[in-house]
Structures are given as structure tokens and as C-alpha cells.
Amino acid sequence: MLTPKRTQTFIRSYPLFSGLVLLYALISFLYHLDWLNSYHIQLVMLVGINIVMTVSLGLINGFTGQFSIGHAGFMAVGAYTSVGMTTLLLQSPGGHLGYLVFFPATLIGGIFAAATGFLIGLPTLRLGGDYLAIVTMAFAEVIRTIIRVSEPMGGPRGIGGIPDYTNLTIVFIFAITSVWLMRNFILSTYGRASKAIRDNEIAAEIMGVNTTRQKVLVFTLGAFFAGCCGSLYAHVLQYIHPDNFTFMKSLEYLIYLYIGGSSSISGAIVGATIFTFLPELFRRFSSWRMVIYSLTLILVMLFRPEGIVGNREWRPLVSRRRRT
Amino acid sequence: MDYLLQQLLNGIQLGTVYALIALGYTMVYGIIRLINFAHADIFMIGVYTSFFTATWKKIPFPVVIIISMAVCAALGVLMELLAYRPLRHKPRLSALITALGVSLFLENFAALPFIFGPEYRNFPELIRMKRYVLWEAHDLAVSNIFLLNLGIVAVLLLGLFYLIHKTMIGKQMRAVSYDKVTASLLGIHVDRVVSFTFLLGGALAGASGMLYGLTYRSIQSPYLGIWPGWKAFIAAVIGGIGSIPGAVLGSYLMGISEVYANSIDSTLGFGMAFVILIIVLIVRPRGLLGEKIQEKI
């Protein structure tokens, strides 16, 4: 039975999970009271998606020390794959039945993105530092160009009329599961190998880490989550266009990551949350909006070069339950 | 055939604009290993500066280009001083994110209605266009603006080459780019050299902005720097980032291939640049003229 006593113990042992459930309950409650309108809900959904994107980018950039700036490309692969299944294959998407297609479509979108990531990562991850960055960006743009010139994928017009399958519950569950999975990855042996590569690649190799395999693995994993995010993103906006996934989009995630703190999951979450909300808060300043946004960005970087959170982690997020 | 030849000339024209921007990227990268995203926006400021000086009074062409170069050089130095210098010894990527911030700031600040405004403008006709027929049978012609472009670029490149290889400050630049710590131990004022590099890059971007306005005669919006900037950056990488002849070679390669790709399909131009980039980087990871750096343990 759910007695107050038991609830209290539960909250004590799983503070993070309880907090998230509470947050979800609060948001949906406020939505039902009409205090939050659908614009706010959409914003919250975008925050959730951006968090997963940023954490998955952090996996590559922050924890493995590889510099990838083409994350939006994987998002595009995921988005177009899943939309291809839900919108173009399923001519008349109907109600709850659509979800039977949507969930596998999201997963397949992720898998396609992961496959793309694998194919790109294999030859390029041997390049170091900035060259890798430039090649990832180049591949993202090539993906976009392919989408632009291929007529079946909507070409330069984009695809409209995508059903709005993504809702608050799905985003919450997706974001929590993904971040939890990535957290476990980072805390595992693989995560340690990643950090070893970041700190000193040659030393890691001497210690027996198969650096190329590890880098390709992380890259593929990051691409997988980006692909899933792309699918959710497409089903929030209900309209996708190759220009949704430009280089600027990749840079946005880079900004979220480094403003929060690159090798920290908490940092990625904080960065993505604050900097998704911020431009919306500034919306009433109209043309000054992006000026203020960019100035905030510069000032944060000047005064906190390691990011807002830095390299620390919020305890409940990384503490492991002791098995007795 | 006729068409292809004419397109080759157009490609060279475009490559000229890219080359001057690419030099700024490559020099800054060579010295402080920073991809200066805001460089494209210095180019944009150059376009606008020359537009305003040219329309304000009937200022002759050589003065316009000098003003544009001066303004952009000052902007480059200022940018380094305010945004990049405080982060010199911090993690390298925070400087990169700051560069992104500066780029966004310049674009959006310039787009404010009382600064440059977001609207389309026509660049004034500073020099009356003349066509010189080169090859009657193939209808191949060049304009005087094209020749002027080539002339200015040649002068600037020779000047740059002289500066880097024959003067003291050039020697210092090469030393700092080779090894910053040792250079400072030998009494080189590293901060001053970095400032000077930004000054040079800015001035070249300013000249490029002027030539862009003169040649294409349209100013879309304060965001116009983004794509030329990116292509110039890719050109610098193809040529081998940090290498000055490489940047020039890469730019012409980029300009020519882009014009040809665009003549097939207008959406192909940009993708083409990236395909070339990927091929070059996979075959020669340091770029066409880049030096191979031995990894030290």
C-alpha cells in the first residue's frame, strides 16, 4: 500500500526520479488548469529533446574528447527516416494506431542515424582534433544537400502534415530513459575508457584501450540518440525542412553543451534548459533578442570558461545505489 | 565549351573573394589554433563599410577600399582584445564558443534597424563596367572589374608575402605560430603578434568585402557573410589550414568547383564544397599544402 511512510522512504531513496515525476505532474496539472498553453508545452518538449541531444553530444565531445560539430546531421537522418515511415508510408495516420508505427519508426530512425554515424566515424575518427570537427560538419552538410536534391524526401520544400505523435509524456519518458542510459554508459567500463581517451589518447592505447573502436562506438551511440531526437522533433513541429538541420542547428547544441559544462551530464542538462528558454524569454525584445542572447553567451564564456556547472556533477545523478 | 571557359573565369572571380577571407582564417588558426567564426562577419562589416563610404560622398574607389580595410582591421584587433585574449589560457573550446557568440552578436547587432538594418541594398556602381573581348571566336570576355580584382589581390598577396617573409614582425609571426612558449622566451611579445595577426586578417577581409560589393553589387542582409565565410574557411582547410599559399590555392579550387557545380544545379554548389573537403581530408589529412606534424609522446 502507498502509505505516507512508504512514500517518504521512496522519495528518500530515489530523489531524482521522484522529483521528475513531480515535475511532470506539475506541468500537466498546470496545463489542465490552462495556466500553461500549448506553446509552453511545446517549449517544454523541445527542452526535453534538446537535453537528450546535448547529453549525447557531450558523450562524444565532453567525455571522449572528440570534437564533433555535425550533430544536427544525425538528427536529420532520424527525422527523415521516421517521417518517411509515419507520414509517407502511412497515408492516413489514424489515432492510436499511429503510435504502433511511430515508436518503431523512432527506433529505426535512431538506428539509421547510428549506421550513418558508424559509416562516417570509421574513416574520420582517425583524424584528430579540429580536422575531425570540420569533417563531421561537412558530412552533416552533405546529408542536408542529399535531402535537398532528392525529390521523394520533399526536396527543398520539406515535408508537411506530419502527425503530432510526440506529446509531453513521451518526451518525459524518452528524455529520462535516454539520459539514464547514457549516464550508465559513462559510469561503466566503456565510460572510463572514453575518459581515458579524452585525457591522454596515447596513454589509453598503451593501457589496452582499443581507441579507434571506442571512439567509433561512442560516435555511433551519440548518433543513435540524435536520430531518436530527430524523430521526436519532427513529430513536435509537424513540418520538417532541410534548413531545420543546418550547421547553425549543430552549433546550437555545441553552445548548450559548452555553456553548461562539457564533461558533465548535469552541465549538459542545465545548458540545454537555460539556453532553450532564454531566447523565448527575450522574445518581447524582438530584434534585440539575438543580440542579448549572443552577449549572454559571450559573457558566460568570459566569466565561466568551463561552463555554468563546470566539470562537477549533481550528486543524485551519478551516485550509484549500493547493493547489499 | 565557350560556356565552360566563361565559367572558369567566373570561378576565378569568386575564388578571389574567398582567398582574401580564407587568409584571415588561416593566419589566425596558424597563430592561436582558433577557428575564428566571427571572421565571416568582419567581411560583412567590410561590405557595409564600403557601401556606406561609397554612397555617403562621391569618394573615389581607392579611398573606399582603404577605409574598409582600416575599419575591419580595427574591428579584428578589438575583437581579439575583448573576447579572445581573456580566454587565451583557458580551455581551447571556450574560445571557440566565444567566437560563435561574437559572430552571432555582430550579425544581429548589424541587423538592428538603426545600425545597418535587415533590408536588401544595391551597391553603387563605383567603376563603370567595361568588357574586353579576349577571344572573338569563343565569345570569351573579361570585365575591367575582374582585372581590377585580380590586380588588387596580387598586390595584397605580394605585400603579405613580403611582410611575412622579409620583415621582423613577419618573422615573429612565424615564430609564434611554430612555438608560442619558446617565442616568448626569446623576447617576442606574443600578445602584440596575435593582435597584429588579427589586424592583418581584418584588413584582408575588409578588402574582400569591398571587392565583393564591387563585383556582385548586391547586399542581401547582415547575414551575408555566413556562406562566403564558410566556403572560405573550407578553402583554408582544403589548402592546409595554417598555410598561406594553401589558403589561396584552396580558395581558387573552391570558387571554380562551386561555379561549375552551380551551373549543373543551384543546390549542388554548397554540397560540392563539402564533398571536395571530405575527399581531401581523407586522402591528405593536413590539407593540400599543410605540413605534417609529428605526434610527440
**pLDDT tens digits, one per residue of A134-193:** 888 888 888 988 888 888 787 888 888 888 888 888 999 999 999 999 999 999 999 999
Residue with cell 605560430: B177
Instruction: Determine the Cα–Cα distance for residues A321 and B273; give it in Å rounded to an integer.
Output: 51
Which residues touch B231 (CB under 8 Å, ≥6 apart)? B18, B254, B258, B270, B273
In a domain? residue B270: no
List C-alpha distances in Å: A40 to A31, A285, B159, B238: 9, 18, 57, 45
Which residues touch A299 (CB under 8 Å, ≥6 apart)? none
- Asked which of A8-22, A277-291, B104-118 is least confident by mean pLDDT, the reply is A8-22
pLDDT in tens, B210-236: 999 888 888 888 888 888 888 898 899
B112, B281, B293: best to mutate for the A interface, most A CBs within 10 A: B281
pLDDT-derived band at A95 (thresholds 50, 70, 90) equals: low
Mean predicted confidence (pLDDT) in B123-147 = 79
Q: Where are the alpha helices (DSSP H) in B179-243?
A: 180-185, 190-216, 226-239
> Which chain B residues are Cβ-neighbours of A306 within 8 angstroms?
90-91, 94
Mean predicted confidence (pLDDT) in B240-248 = 88
**Sign (positive/negative) of CA torsion A283, A289, A294, A298?**
negative
- A226, A233 contact by CB (below 8 A): no
Instruction: Determine the Cα–Cα distance for residues A34 and B275; give it in Å rounded to an integer.
Output: 50
> Which chain A residues are Cβ-neighbours of B235 within 8 angstroms?
none
DSSP-derived secondary structure letter, B91: -
Q: How far is B256 from chain A (nearest CA, A)?
A: 19
> Which chain B residues are Cβ-neighbours of A287 within 8 angstroms?
108, 111-113, 118
Q: Is the pLDDT of residue A92 over 70?
A: no
- A59, A221 contact by CB (below 8 A): yes
- A109, A82 contact by CB (below 8 A): yes
DSSP-derived secondary structure letter, B82: I
- pLDDT at position A216 is 92
Q: Is the pLDDT of residue B168 over 90?
A: yes
In a domain? residue B235: no
In a domain? residue B126: yes
* Partner-chain contact B278 A127, CB within 8 Å: no
In a domain? residue B297: no
Cα angle, residue A281 at apex, residues A280 and A282 outer, rounded to 5°: 90
| Higher local confidence (pLDDT), A84 or A3 | A84
In a domain? residue B27: yes
- Asked which of A113-117, A201-205, A320-324 is least confident by mean pLDDT, the reply is A320-324
- A132, A61 contact by CB (below 8 A): no
In a domain? residue B263: no
- Mean pLDDT score across all residues of chain A: 86
Q: Which helix (H) or strand (E) holds B141?
A: strand B140-143
- pLDDT at position B230 is 86
In a domain? residue B198: yes
* Partner-chain contact B111 A127, CB within 8 Å: no
B28, B34, B97, B226: best to mutate for the A interface, most A CBs within 10 A: B97
Phi-psi sector, B190: left (phi>0), alpha (psi -120 to 50), beta: alpha
The SS3 of residue B161 is helix
Which of B102, B265, B278 comes nearest A298 by C-beta?
B102
Q: What are phi and psi of B60, to 5 degrees?
A: -65, 160
Instruction: Determine the Cα–Cα distance for residues B232 and B207; give it in Å rounded to an integer.
Output: 14
| Higher local confidence (pLDDT), A128 or A173 | A173
Cα angle, residue B222 at apex, residues B220 and B228 outer, rounded to 5°: 75
The SS3 of residue B133 is strand
Question: Could you give the number of structural domains in chain B?
Answer: 1
Q: How far is A187 from chain B (nearest CA, A)?
A: 24
> Which chain B residues are Cβ-neighbours of A262 within 8 angstroms?
93
Residue B229 CB coordination number (10 Å): 26
Give A239's Cβ-side CA count (13 Å radius): 5
* Partner-chain contact A67 B93, CB within 8 Å: yes
Long-range contacts of B143-150 (CB under 8 A, 24+ apart): B145/B214, B145/B215, B146/B9, B146/B12, B146/B13, B146/B215, B148/B214, B149/B13, B149/B16, B149/B211, B149/B214, B149/B215, B150/B12, B150/B16
A125, A262, A302, A306: best to mutate for the B interface, most B CBs within 10 A: A302
In a domain? residue B36: yes
Q: Is the pLDDT of residue A323 over 70?
A: no
Q: Is the pLDDT of residue B122 over 90?
A: no
Mean predicted confidence (pLDDT) in B107-131 = 83
> Which chain A residues are Cβ-neighbours of B87 within 8 angstroms?
301-302, 305
Could you tell me if B285 lies within 8 Å of chain A, comparing CB atoms?
yes
Question: What is the domain range of residue B18?
Answer: 2-225
Which chain A residue lies closest to B276 (C-alpha atoms)? A138
Q: Which of B264, B244, B37, B51 is nearest to B160 (CA)?
A: B244
The SS3 of residue B219 is strand
- Interface residues on A facing B, Cβ-Cβ cutoff 8 A: 67, 123-124, 127, 130-131, 133-135, 138-139, 141-142, 144-146, 148-149, 156, 202, 247, 251, 254-255, 258-259, 262, 287-291, 293-295, 297-298, 301-302, 305-307
- B11, B260 contact by CB (below 8 A): yes
> Which chain A residues are Cβ-neighbours of B271 within 8 angstroms?
141-142, 144-146, 148-149
- Mean pLDDT score across all residues of chain B: 87
- pLDDT at position B151 is 92
Q: Is the pLDDT of residue B78 over 70?
A: yes
Could you tell me if B283 lies within 8 Å of chain A, comparing CB atoms?
no
pLDDT-derived band at B97 (thresholds 50, 70, 90) equals: confident
List C-alpha distances in Å: B52 to A222, B9, B44, B124, B125: 47, 29, 12, 10, 13
- pLDDT at position B216 is 86
Instruction: Determine the Cα–Cα distance for residues B276 and A168; give it in Å rounded to an integer.
Output: 43
> Which chain A residues are Cβ-neighbours of B113 within 8 angstroms?
287
Q: Which grid cell is A85?
A: 515511415
The length of chain B is 297
Q: How far is B112 from chain A (nearest CA, A)?
A: 6
The length of chain A is 324
Instruction: Determine the Cα–Cα distance for residues B249 and B253; give it in Å rounded to an integer.
Output: 6
- pLDDT at position A321 is 60
Which chain B residue lies closest to A66 (C-alpha atoms)? B93
* Partner-chain contact A138 B278, CB within 8 Å: yes
Which chain A residue lies closest to B99 (C-alpha atoms)? A298
- A131, B281 contact by CB (below 8 A): yes
pLDDT in tens, A25-47: 888 888 888 888 888 888 999 99
* Partner-chain contact B271 A145, CB within 8 Å: yes
Instruction: Determine the Cα–Cα distance for residues B22 and B27; give it in Å rounded to an integer.
Output: 9
- pLDDT at position B5 is 82
- A277, A43 contact by CB (below 8 A): yes
Could you tell me if B271 lies within 8 Å of chain A, comparing CB atoms?
yes
Q: Which grid cell is A171?
A: 518526451
